[in-house]
Amino acid sequence: MSLLEVSGLTVHFATDDGPVEAVHGLDLSVGAGEILGLVGESGSGKSVTGFSILRLIRPPGRIVRGSVRLDGRDLLTLPEEEMRRIRGARIALVPQSPRTALNPVITIGTQIARLFELHGDLSRRAAWNRGIEALDQVGVPDAARRMGQYAHQLSGGTCQRVMIAMALASSPQLLIADEPTTGLDVSIAARILGLLRELGTRTGAAIILITHDLGVVAETCHRVAVMHAGQLVETGTVRALFRQPLHPYTRALVRSIPRIDREVALEPIPGAVPSLLHASPGCRYMARCPHALEVCRKNKPSLDVVEADHRVACHALEANRAAVA
Amino acid sequence: MTDAATALPLPAQRRGPLAAMWRRLRRNPVTLGALGVIVVLTVVAVLAPVVAPFDPEATDPAIALSAPTWQNLLGTDVYGRDQLSRLIHAARLDLIIPFASTAAALVIGALIGALSGYRGGWVDQVIMRMVEAVLAFPAFVLAMGLTAALGNSIGNIILTLAITQVPIYIRLIRGEMLRVREMEYAEAARTVGNPSWRIVVVHLLPNCIPPLIVQATLAMGFALLTMAALSFLGLGIRPPDAEWGEMTAEGASHMVTGEWWLFVFPGLVIMATVLAFNLIGDGLRDLLDPRMRGVR
């Protein structure tokens, strides 16, 4: 059994026109020490999934069905007080925009030290020193001085390092990194990703890396889960998925990665993520799919195993195999 | 080489936020002047027994209703009490009462407003309807009614002024809370397992302070004015305690007989003080504007 097992997760957001199904029947699992890439374009439900695992979906959003098991315990049925003690301690989140995730009126040091006080039961002074160590570990130069500064005095990369240091403060079993490299230039992004990878191996924490960048996934993750319109369309090892992308959406994503080694025209994916209000009973990718069949209109494809640890949700498997062959 | 680099001074970062504030304040003579007025008044109020030339309650029928002379710089009243000394002693009540009531309203209003804004839902609905009920009364009419009902002791006047102000702070902080609770740092505070009260008090309230300070300063002027008006109507501070509004009221009865100094000076003091508070409030609004941050 894996460290984290999400099954049948369904999240609705209430709107005036009815519920929007942001995540539908999602199954996911991550083992200790594993890095799972959760990819998909904007609005595909990646971040909602991340926040659902922490049970931090706020109204009008609501987790309707499903279970999120950490070490076999279903987090969705825990009392709020227990859940609060899991957040930050056993599951940590690296937020999307590090600069705005730091409180502008509290010094970096106070924010970090507080975590050690909260989860480590340390004295104020000891917590402060642990904070300096934590910053040192993630490669923040001049950590002792940074502790006394405010978020606006730090660079974007340093802010992200601070966020990672804070997420790791309590040595969590699961780290959810929500697009940790958005807004950072490539060299800083590469270092942040390297840092995550290194921490995964060193602490044995499971990492869910939410991103829309397949390049990042190829470089950092062990396994990938591709989301489209709130559903999982394909999951597998990075190797299998890049060598044989069986879902037309995954293929389209792979084809939209710019290459420098070959002269290939970039192919944009036609259309946009369909509206999830009154979602069709059939396949949600149908309108954008080149291989759409008649069954796709009526029946939702299930996530079927095609190979060991490679699962795809598509009716047109034959056409897909032909396309990658 | 590295040694030389680390040895370089870092002037911009060594200066604290207060120093930066002071630098900007110096460029704003109006606010600085207003601040000076309040500082001087406060010092005078604290040192009243030392600064005042006479005992404010000592009567002397021989010099009753004397116009300003070298001895009694601002003249005397019907009982021959020195008006300057009375104005100086009155500064104590006239600063302490608005200050105490504003401070009380601020703390209570901030807490209730934070609860209302952060929790939302029915809690918010109930609190907001209550706030609207209080605000439905014109503030001064409400203050008059409350002092008339409670009796006009100093404690009751503070209470009354606080009650008329509290709804303003509740609304202000509620609005700020609605804004900051959606900020990512609020989300981040939740993701690390902080309890709600801590998120509100430690993480969110400090981010709501600037508009609160501005409002409080403006409210000081308003509270002083309300108190003076209450006293003028005989619902505030009672004689023989000196208070500017009450002194103006006494002076007003002499308007037709020509003893102008009795209402002009207390009136001027009230005007100057209220104006000073309002100017400071205005200045602070500019000073605390986030768009002004970093401007040197």
Here the CATH number for the domain that contains residue A41 is 3.40.50.300
pLDDT tier at B12, thresholds 50, 70, 90 = very low
Instruction: Give residue B128's pLDDT.
Output: 93
Any chain A CB within 8 A of the CB of B189? yes
Task: Name the residue of chain B whose CA is nearest to A178's CA.
Answer: B188
Any chain A CB within 8 A of the CB of B151? no
Give chain A positions within 8 Å (CB) of B195. Answer: 84
Whether A319 and A247 share a structural domain: yes
Any chain A CB within 8 A of the CB of B192? yes
Per-residue pLDDT at B119 exceeds 90? no
Instruction: Give residue B7's pLDDT.
Output: 46
Q: What is the pLDDT of residues A160-219, one digit of tens each?
A: 888 888 888 778 888 898 888 777 778 778 888 888 888 888 888 899 999 888 888 888
For residues A57-68, average pLDDT: 86
Last residue of a domain, one of A169, A204, A225: A169
Q: What is the pLDDT of residues A294-311, one digit of tens each?
A: 778 777 888 888 887 888
For residues A235-253, average pLDDT: 86
- Interchain proximity B192–A85, CB inside 8 Å: no
Q: How far apart are CA A114 and CA B199, in angstroms?
A: 12
Whether A141 and A109 share a structural domain: yes
Instruction: Give residue B16's pLDDT.
Output: 63
Whether A250 and A182 share a structural domain: yes
Considering only CB atoms, A95 lies closest to which of B184, B194, B206, namely B184
Q: What is the pLDDT of residues A172-183, one digit of tens each?
A: 888 898 888 777
Whether A186 and A129 share a structural domain: no
Token pair of A198 as six digits:
């290194």
Q: How far apart are CA B278 and CA A169, in angstroms?
A: 47
Q: Which of B9-13, B107-111, B141-145 shows the lowest mean pLDDT across its residues? A: B9-13
Exposed e or buried b per residue across A219-254, where buried means at least 16 C-beta atoms within 10 angstroms of its C-beta: ebbbbbbbbbbbbbbbbbbbebbbebbbbbbbbbbb
Token pair of A163 as six digits:
């966020």
For residues B256-262, average pLDDT: 81
State chain B's mean pLDDT as an integer. Answer: 82
- Interchain proximity B191–A56, CB inside 8 Å: yes
For residues A44-54, average pLDDT: 87
Last residue of a domain, one of A169, A192, A222: A169
Whether A72 and A209 share a structural domain: yes
Residues in chain A, total: 325
- Interchain proximity A105–B207, CB inside 8 Å: yes
Per-residue pLDDT at B18 exceeds 80? no
Structural domain for A152, as ranges: 97-169
pLDDT tier at B290, thresholds 50, 70, 90 = low
Q: What is the pLDDT of residues A94-118, one digit of tens each?
A: 888 877 888 888 888 888 888 888 7
Any chain A CB within 8 A of the CB of B207? yes
Task: Name the residue of chain A whose CA is nearest to B294's CA.
Answer: A152
Residue with tokens 């937020």: A95
Report the number of distinct structural domains present in chain A.
2
SS in 3 state form for chain B?
CHHHHHHCCCHHHHCCHHHHHHHHHHCCHHHHHHHHHHHHHHHHHHCHHHHCCCCCCCCCHHHCCCCCCCCCCCCECCCCCEHHHHHHHHHHHHHHHHHHHHHHHHHHHHHHHHHHHHHCHHHHHHHHHHHHHHHCCCHHHHHHHHHHHHCCCHHHHHHHHHHHHHHHHHHHHHHHHHHHCCCHHHHHHHHCCCCHHHHHHHHHHHHHHHHHHHHHHHHHHHHHHHHHHHHHCCCCCCCCCCCHHHHHHHHHCCCCCCCCHHHHHHHHHHHHHHHHHHHHHHHHHHHHCHHHCCCC
Whether A72 and A103 share a structural domain: no
pLDDT tier at B162, thresholds 50, 70, 90 = very high
Last residue of a domain, one of A169, A199, A230: A169
Whether A162 and A177 share a structural domain: no
Per-residue pLDDT at A229 exceeds 50? yes
* ipTM exceeding the 0.95 mark: no
Task: Name the residue of chain B whose CA is nearest to A93's CA.
Answer: B191
For residues A50-65, average pLDDT: 86
Per-residue pLDDT at B239 exceeds 70? yes
Whether A113 and A197 share a structural domain: no
- Interchain proximity A102–B206, CB inside 8 Å: no
Any chain A CB within 8 A of the CB of B181? no
Whether pTM exceeds 0.80 = no
Q: How far apart are CA A138 and CA A261, in angstroms?
A: 33
